[in-house]
């Protein structure tokens, strides 16, 4: 097992196997096919805290059909289900193009047949001057029938091509929409974890050793406690409100995503470690000063939300996974130390400070 896989396993934590067992047990009891997209659906409902999805999944009954599961996954814009839709649409486009190709090929054969018939009749008229009028009219009738068939085939081909172009355009638009949905968080409208990882990959693919980028991770450490105290709906409001606050706090070109149930990721360019720490402080203060959420008892709560923030620099990481690992380690350290809720990775050391 390489270091990246070890760090990923470590980030799962001691509850990772419990979550896996919980998901597998649910899928077995409900006779769900062991498909990756079904695992993703159950994970989002049971362990990612999506209470609304959990209720709808339970509402499908003890033995939900695969179609019902897929429709539910599409409604909640889960990447696996959106990806399945994109692949299906692309398959339909290819099938449509194949049918058009066959029809064009048939049309070309009919055209060549008609041209040969015209050439044959012209040659016969030239070579047989004693041809009777009846024979000549019979050949013209044959030619007329061939022309009628050709015109009919051309008309049908034109109609099919127009319909095909329209269908392909719609499929391409739907496929693009599905791909966009795969990269968007349904609750907050922010980019999701997959989109954020793509952004990190892009930074390292554009530059062999990217310099001056800062990754900042923000987490609500006691999200489970908030759910127990205020309920799932209140927590959803907190997350939506936090996303709006964070989006207003950063600049237009800065990147933000919701990367987990209670975690947000930020990517900043042209900043050093001191700048990153100052930005993290602004994010913390913005949440503390502006967060207002209502509980199920309609009591307004302002501030007091515990956040843990960790940050790391691209200069200290050889690849995006290493950068994510460094920032995650700093964030988890901050989560265990409420007196120091903002911690940055210290360059040249395995520790964060």
Pairing of strands 308-313, 292-294: unpaired
Distance between CA atoms of residues 91 and 276, nearest Å: 45
* pLDDT at 175 (0 to 100): 66
Residues 6+ away with beta carbon under 8 Å from 60: 68, 69, 72
Average pLDDT on 284-291 reads 89
Within 10 angstroms of residue 219's Cβ, the number of other Cβ atoms is 24
Of 196, 194, 190, 188, which is closest to residue 213 (Cα–Cα)? 196
Q: What is the pLDDT of residues 294-322, one digit of tens each?
A: 444 444 444 457 899 999 999 999 999 89
Distance between CA atoms of residues 328 and 334, nearest Å: 10
Residues 6+ away with beta carbon under 8 Å from 119: none
pLDDT band of residue 350 (cuts 50, 70, 90) is very low
Which of the residue ranges 124-128, 203-207, 255-259 would you say has the lowest mean pLDDT?
124-128
- Predicted structure pTM score: 0.59
193-344, which class in CATH?
alpha beta
* pLDDT at 159 (0 to 100): 76
Token output for 223: 């999200």
Average pLDDT on 65-80 reads 77
Higher pLDDT, 249 or 156: 249
What's the mean pLDDT when you consider all of the chain? 79
Q: Per DSSP, what are the bridge partners of residue 32?
A: none
pLDDT band of residue 292 (cuts 50, 70, 90) is low
Place of tokens 């795969």: 182
DSSP secondary structure letters along 230-278: H-HHHHHHHHHHHHHHHHHHS-TTSEEEEEETTEEEEEEES--HHHHHH
Average pLDDT on 235-239 reads 87
pLDDT at 13 over 50: no
Sketch the domain layout of the chain as residue ranges. Answer: 3-77, 81-182, 193-344
């Amino acid at each position: 097992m390489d270091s990246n896989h070890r760090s990923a396993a470590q980030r799962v934590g001691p509850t990772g196997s419990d979550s896996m067992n919980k998901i597998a047990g649910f899928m077995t009891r409900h006779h769900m096919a062991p498909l990756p997209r079904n695992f993703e659906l159950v994970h989002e409902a049971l362990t990612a805290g999506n209470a609304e999805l959990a209720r709808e999944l339970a509402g499908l009954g003890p033995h939900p059909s695969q179609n019902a599961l897929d429709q539910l996954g599409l409604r909640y814009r889960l990447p696996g289900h959106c990806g399945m839709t994109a692949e299906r649409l692309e398959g339909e486009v290819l099938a449509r193009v194949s049918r058009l190709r066959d029809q064009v090929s048939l049309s070309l054969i009919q055209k060549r047949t008609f041209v040969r018939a015209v050439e044959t009749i012209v040659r016969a008229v030239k070579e047989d001057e004693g041809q009777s009028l009846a024979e000549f009219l019979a050949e013209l009738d044959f030619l007329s029938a061939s022309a009628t068939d050709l015109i009919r085939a051309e008309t049908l081909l034109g109609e099919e091509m127009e319909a095909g172009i329209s269908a392909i355009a719609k499929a391409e638009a739907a496929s693009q929409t599905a791909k966009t949905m795969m990269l968007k968080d349904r609750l907050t409208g922010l980019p999701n974890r997959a989109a954020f990882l793509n952004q990190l990959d892009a930074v390292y693919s554009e530059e062999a050793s990217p310099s001056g980028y800062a990754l900042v991770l923000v987490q609500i450490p006691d999200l489970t406690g908030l759910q127990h105290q205020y309920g799932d709906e209140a927590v959803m409001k907190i997350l939506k409100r936090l996303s709006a606050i964070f989006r207003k706090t950063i600049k237009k070109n800065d990147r933000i995503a919701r990367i987990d149930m209670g975690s947000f990721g930020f990517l900043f360019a042209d900043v050093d470690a001191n700048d990153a720490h100052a930005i993290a402080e602004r994010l913390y203060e913005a949440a503390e000063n502006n967060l207002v959420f209502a509980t199920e008892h309609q009591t307004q709560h302002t501030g007091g939300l515990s956040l843990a923030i960790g940050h790391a620099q691209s200069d200290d990481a050889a690849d995006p996974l290493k950068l994510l690992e460094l920032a995650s380690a700093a964030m988890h350290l901050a989560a265990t130390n409420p007196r120091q809720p903002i911690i940055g990775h210290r360059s040249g050391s395995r520790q964060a400070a």
